[in-house]
Each structure stands twice: as C-alpha cells, then as structure tokens.
Amino acid sequence: SCPATGYGYIQRGELLGSSHGHDIFKVKRFTEKPDEDTARQFLSEGGYYWNSGIFVWRATRILEEINRFLPKLAQALKKLAGLWGTPGWEAALRGSWQEVEATSIDYGVMERAEDVVVVPASFGWHDLGDWQAVWEVFPRDENGVAVRGEHLGMDTARALIWARPGKTVATLGVSNVAIVDTQDALLVAALARSQQVRELARQAQPAPPEWDELFKLDTSGMLEVVAGFPDQCRKGLELGEEVDLPQGLSGFSRVLCVGMGGSGITGDLLGRFLSIPVIPCRGYRVPSYIGEETLLIGVSYSGNTEETLSAFQEGLSRTRRALAISSGGKLRELCASRKIPWIGIPGGYQPRAALGYLLFTLLSVLRRLGAAHLDLKEALATLAEQAKALGPASPGNQAQTIARALAGGVPLIYGTYGNTGPVAFRWKTQINENAKQPAFWAELPELCHNEIVGWELAERVLPGGRVVFLRTGHDHPRVQARIEILKEVLLRRGLSYLEVEGEGKSEAAQLFSLLYLGDWVSVYLALLNGVDPTPVRPIQELKERLARL
C-alpha cells in the first residue's frame, strides 16, 4: 500500500490454485528491504507483496533446508538439542551463536529454497521495524506527539518521544522528529528517515578491543600475577606441609578466621571446605562466645592490618589455640613475642593477588589438623588449564567476553548459599579493586525474599545492572529451579543476565574455576575501563588519614 523500504518483498509467480477463498501463488523471487526507488517500482508493477515473515512449514522440512544451505547452523542445532532445559544450555547457546552463519532465515534459506508458495492476505499487521512505525501505532495527542516516559514540550508537533525512566525529555519548537533516549545512546532523527537508523547503528557498533594496546595499561603486572595463581596454589599446599605445628593446636571444634579485604576472603572460602564451622571475622573485635574450643587464625597479607591485629590480640585472650599467616609485619612480631605458630609467605603482592598462598597454605595445615578432607588434584589441574585458556595469549577468550558484557554497567553477582556465595563475594570485590567500578553480590535463595522486589525499579534507578549467575552442578535442586524462574523474570523486565558454569566434576574444581575466572574478568574489565588494575589509591588514602588520627 506504500513504498516501504523497511520490509522485504515477495514477487508472485504462477497461480497454483486457491483454498478457502485465498489464491496460492508460487514464489518467483524474494527481495529483502529495497531502496525507495525500487519499492516504488514494485508498487507500480503490481504482483509484489510485503513479506510479513510469517512462515508455515514442517519442522523436518525446514531442518532439511537449513542443513542444505546453513551447515554451521545445522551442526549447532544438533549439538544444542540435547542441552535444552539443562544448566549448560545458556553457555552452549552463546558459544554456538559465535559459530553459526551471520544471516537471517530470509537470506539464508527462503531466498534459496525451492517449492515455496505465497498466500496474499490483508489483515491488521504492523512490522514496527522503525521508529516512524512505532509513532504510527502509538497514542498521540492533538499535535501528533507520541510519548513514552516523561516529556515537557512547547511548540512540538508530529514527534515521537521515547524517554528513559526517571529522566525527562524537553522539546521546544521541533516537529517531525524521533527522540529516543536509551542507556547506550541518544537518537535524534527526522521521523521520515527513521528507517535509516539501522545504517547509523552499524557505524556505531563498537570495534573489538585492541587488547595488545590495553595490556600496556597493566604497568604493575597484574596479568602476570593472575596467570601465576595455579602455581601459588600448588606452592601453598607444599608450604602447609612444611609448617611446624605444636601438639596443643589440635582438638578444636570450630575456627575463627580474622582478616580484612583480600586476606579476609580466606575465611569465607575455608568455611566452604572445612568439616567444622568457620567464622569469618571482619572487624576490631571477636564474637563474645569464642573460647578454648576455637582455633584462632590471623590472616593479614601485609601483617599490618589494624583491624586484624586488634581482633587477633583480643582472640588470644579467649583461646590458646592460635596461628597466623602473613608476609611479615606486626603480626609476625606479635606471634614471635607470644610464641604462636606463624606461617610466612612470599611478599611483593597485593593482598587480593596472594590468595593462592593464603588459602591453600591454610587448607594444607588444616588438613593436617584433621579439619579439612578434600582432594584438590582435579581443582589444580583445572586451574592450570584455565591459565592457558583465559590468559592474554588467547584473544577473545571467555573472561574477555564476560568483561566486555559487564563494561559500562553495574555487575550484580549472584551465588548460592553453602556453595558459590563466597565466590560471588570474591567477584564483587575483585571488580571493585581491580576494575575500579561498583559491583554488588547476593545469595540465593535469600535474594528471592527481598532483592528481586528491587528489580521493579531497576530500569529507572539501576539501568546498567548486569546480573551474573554463578552455576555449578552442586546446588540444591530447588535453588536451580529458582534460578530458571529468575531468568524469565529478568527477561520480562528487560534486564540482562549471564550464566557462568564451573568447570570440572568435583565441588572444589567447579568452585575454584569460577573464582579464577572472576579474577581474570576483573583484570580485563579494568583494562576496558582504561585503568591499571593494581593500584588501590582510595584504600591507601584512607589508611594514611587514619594513621594521622
């Protein structure tokens, strides 16, 4: 009915018959989105119809045609068929998407297929393929202005205003215009030219990161340190076997682990693997119920963290069972004066970058003391493989892909209680310190009782939210079911999410692989943000000011 350039066209061929009052024609040719002159020619010649994209076929037939014309897509569909409804579906789908032919069903199959027919029909239908089409179907005021969101206008006519939640668009003396404000971009276009927006969008596609250039931002060598994490873990286990442990240290029924920041996460992770309760303590004082049944562990990479020193000294007044780990500092001096076992680890790292030494050394010691019973062989092998797959020598790897998805947003990292919760917290803190950007974390199922209600206004108050679900095969079945429901809720609210699967079979392998992936993501995210991952100037400034009090 008009020379639209936003639709594909179908040219009819010979008449094959009719059914229920509708003629059936053989398709002579498909033409995808012609220019305006060609569209006018089609309209004047007759025998052309808009392609509504409504296809009817048997599943077996379309699969045959896909196999014939789009072999990569056919192969991907076969691979994905057995994963539908499983936790691995999302990751496999993302991987397959990168491999298949970049084309539509119209170009890839319909324009090349044989025995295709068309049934012309007139019915209420609109493609909504451009902003003028949206303006045409949207309610408009007496001046022809269609508005979504908040608009303040004067002398404005025949316009589409598409505002972001919580933000007002003001117009003065404009007409025949589309103004579309989104998180990613602001569009101001002549309404009649809105079909050309796709050409603008193609030009606006961000170029792939120049990783070799971005690596130069890492002047302090954090990439190299992260690559060495598997070696740290192995050396930590060996170091733990060499520690001289006094006889009176065993016999405890719980562990109190005092530590802050990159050292303090050690207590959370110990709690995931020990056979007895572990109480992480992040503060100046220890819980009042601590007694002789408790093993007190002081964890401070520098050995000078004031909260840790305060809590450790108070803890020593409650229990004689104690040990500490650091690279030196006042904690070492305190242990020497009180004849407390002290474990020395290599210096020269940022605390958050020494987790392999801190955690695995203590896991080894606690295994000797009868509090840890786990086999770390698969976990260490998995970490070694990840170091190769996620490092700078593997461009376009999984960690870089996730970092690109999180860049410019606010990551919301979701783990699960009793499983991936500590890893979610680690992702959050690594993104904070390395990438220098806000990030938050929460645990399922608890977040199902509060945080999900906050999603109602997320588009307005947190438009950059990016949910990341950390998945393993060891979550409770009901928690897995909750995640699947939450994914549907997020999609309905227009919020994006990622799923990240742990690698390996054992709980330890899956957990540590997720942790290690998060470390890589945080460093690549720092580089995308244009910052050196290592310095933590606000923390240093705070410490300096406290020291002057």
Which active-site residues does the annotation give?
433, 449, 543
CA–CA separation, 364 vs 372, rounded Å? 8
Own/partner pairs for 27-30, CB < 8 Å, 24+ apart? 27/116, 27/117, 27/118, 30/106, 30/110, 30/111
Q: Which amino acid, 7?
A: Y
Helix locations, 447-506, DSSP H: 451-454, 458-461, 477-492
Instruction: Give the pair of three-digit tokens for residue 197.
Output: 């927006």
**Nearest Cα residue to 480 out of 92, 87, 88:** 87
What's the gap between Cα 434 and its chain centre?
16
CA–CA separation, 464 vs 407, rounded Å? 9
Q: What Rg value do the Cα atoms of the chain yield, rounded? A: 30
Rounded to 10 degrees, the C-alpha dihedral 512/518/520/524 comes to 180
**Nearest Cα residue to 147 out of 132, 133, 131, 163:** 163
Please answer whether residues 292 and 320 qualify as being in contact, where contact means their C-beta atoms are separated by less than 8 angstroms: yes
How many Cα atoms within 13 Å fall on the side-chain side of residue 90?
15
Please answer whether residues 277 and 239 qualify as being in contact, where contact means their C-beta atoms are separated by less than 8 angstroms: no
| Beta strand pairing call for 117-118 and 22-31 | antiparallel
CA–CA separation, 396 vs 139, rounded Å? 45
| Beta strand pairing call for 150-154 and 117-118 | unpaired
Burial call 439-456: b when 16+ CB within 10 Å, e when fewer: bbbbbbeebbeebbeebe
Ranges of beta strands (E only) in 400-529 are 410-416, 440-444, 465-471, 496-501
Report in angstroms the alpha-carbon separations of 399 from 316, 431, 468. 42, 13, 13
Q: How many residues does the chain have?
A: 549
CA–CA separation, 416 vs 444, rounded Å? 5
Strand partners of residue 324: 298, 342
Q: Which amino acid, 50?
A: W
CA–CA separation, 301 vs 448, rounded Å? 36
Q: Is the dihedral of CA 308, 309, 315, 321 positive or negative?
A: positive
Q: Would you tell me how many other CB atoms lie within 10 Å of the CB of residue 470?
A: 30
Q: Would you tell me how many other CB atoms lie within 10 Å of the CB of residue 430?
A: 28
Burial of 3 (0-12, 13-18, 19+ CB in 10 A): middle
